[in-house]
Structure 1
Amino acid sequence: MTGAAAIAFPRLGRLTLADFRSYAALDLSLSAPLVALAGENGAGKTNILEALSLFTPGRGLRRAELAEMARIGGEGGFAVAIALSEEGAPLRLGTGLEPRPGEPAVRRSRIDGVPVGSPAAFAEHVRLVWLTPAMDGLFAGSAGERRRFLDRMVLGIDARHGARVNAFERALRGRNRLLAEPAPDRAWLDGIEAEIAPLAVAVAAARRATVDRLARVIAAHRDDASAFPWAGVVLEGTIEEMLTTLPEVEAETRYRALLREGRGRDAAAGRALAGPQASDLLVWHGPKDVPAERASTGEQKALLIGLVLAHARLVAEASGIAPFVLLDEIAAHLDPRRRAALYTALSGLGSQVFMTGADPALFADLPAGSETFLVAPGAVRPL
Structure 2
Amino acid sequence: MWGHNGAGKTNILEALYLVSTLRSFRTADLKAMLRRGCEHARVELEAFDDELGLPTRLEVRIDRQTRSTRRSARVDGKLVRSAVDFYGRIQAVLFTPEDLGILRGSPSARRQFLDRVVFARERAHIGDVQVYDKLLRSRNRVLKAEPADMRASERARLLDTYDHGLADVGARIWTRRVELVEQLRRPFAAAFAQIHDREALASGSFEAGLRYLSRADPDASP
Q: TM-score, normalised by structure 2?
A: 0.73
Shift of 1:64: 1.1
* 1:81 matches 2:49: no
* 1:234 matches 2:201: no
Relative distance call for 1:215 and 1:134 in structure 2 (3 A) is same
1:290-346 per-residue CA deviation (whole Å, 9 max, x = no partner) reads xxxxxxxxxxxxxxxxxxxxxxxxxxxxxxxxxxxxxxxxxxxxxxxxxxxxxxxxx
* Pairs within 5 Å for 1:15-34: none
- Answer yes or no: is the 8 Å Cα contact 2:135–2:162 preserved in 1: yes
Structure 2: stretches of 5+ with no match in the other structure? 202-206
SS, match of residue 161 in structure 1: helix
Shift of 1:94: 0.5
- Answer yes or no: is the 8 Å Cα contact 1:58–1:162 preserved in 2: no
Relative distance call for 1:233 and 1:142 in structure 2 (3 A) is same
- Answer yes or no: is the 8 Å Cα contact 2:49–2:56 preserved in 1: yes
SS, match of residue 36 in structure 2: coil
Relative distance call for 1:93 and 1:198 in structure 2 (3 A) is same
Shift of 1:226: 1.6
Quick check: which one's strand share is greater?
1
Quote the sequence identity (%).
Answer: 29
Partner Cα separation in structure 2 for residue 46 and residue 189 of structure 1: 51
Shift of 1:182: 4.1
Q: Corresponding residue for 2:139?
A: 175
Partner Cα separation in structure 2 for residue 152 and residue 55 of structure 1: 14
Q: Corresponding residue for 1:93?
A: 58
1:31-53 per-residue CA deviation (whole Å, 9 max, x = no partner) reads xxxxx24443x654333222212
Q: Aligned letter for 2:134?
A: R
Partner Cα separation in structure 2 for residue 170 and residue 119 of structure 1: 15
SS, match of residue 233 in structure 1: coil
* Pairs within 5 Å for 1:87-126: 89-100=54-65, 102=66, 104-123=68-87, 125-126=89-90
Partner Cα separation in structure 2 for residue 225 and residue 168 of structure 1: 38
Relative distance call for 1:73 and 1:203 in structure 2 (3 A) is farther
Shift of 1:93: 0.9
Q: Corresponding residue for 1:323?
A: none
Counterpart pick for 2:123 among 149, 154, 159: 159
Relative distance call for 1:180 and 1:43 in structure 2 (3 A) is farther
Q: TM-score, normalised by structure 1?
A: 0.46
Partner Cα separation in structure 2 for residue 221 and residue 141 of structure 1: 20
- Answer yes or no: is the 8 Å Cα contact 2:19–2:44 preserved in 1: no
Q: Corresponding residue for 1:195?
A: 162
Partner Cα separation in structure 1 for residue 146 and residue 84 of structure 2: 41
Relative distance call for 1:214 and 1:238 in structure 2 (3 A) is closer
SS, match of residue 226 in structure 1: helix
Looking at both structures, which has the greater relative contact order when contacts are Cα pairs under 8 Å and sequence separation is at least 6? Answer: 1
Q: Which piece of structure 1 moves more, 60-69 or 214-223?
A: 214-223
Query: How many residue pairs end up in the alignment?
Result: 206
Partner Cα separation in structure 1 for residue 166 and residue 112 of structure 2: 17
1:105-126 per-residue CA deviation (whole Å, 9 max, x = no partner) reads 4322112222222343345642
Counterpart pick for 2:19 among 49, 55, 62: 55
Counterpart pick for 2:106 among 142, 147, 168: 142
Partner Cα separation in structure 2 for residue 203 and residue 48 of structure 1: 36
- Answer yes or no: is the 8 Å Cα contact 1:84–1:92 preserved in 2: yes
- Answer yes or no: is the 8 Å Cα contact 1:211–1:233 preserved in 2: no
* Pairs within 5 Å for 1:286-301: none
Q: Aligned letter for 2:126?
A: G
Quick check: which one's helix share is greater?
2
Shift of 1:127: 1.5
- Answer yes or no: is the 8 Å Cα contact 2:181–2:212 preserved in 1: no
Give me the CA root mean square deviation.
3.4
Relative distance call for 1:114 and 1:179 in structure 2 (3 A) is closer
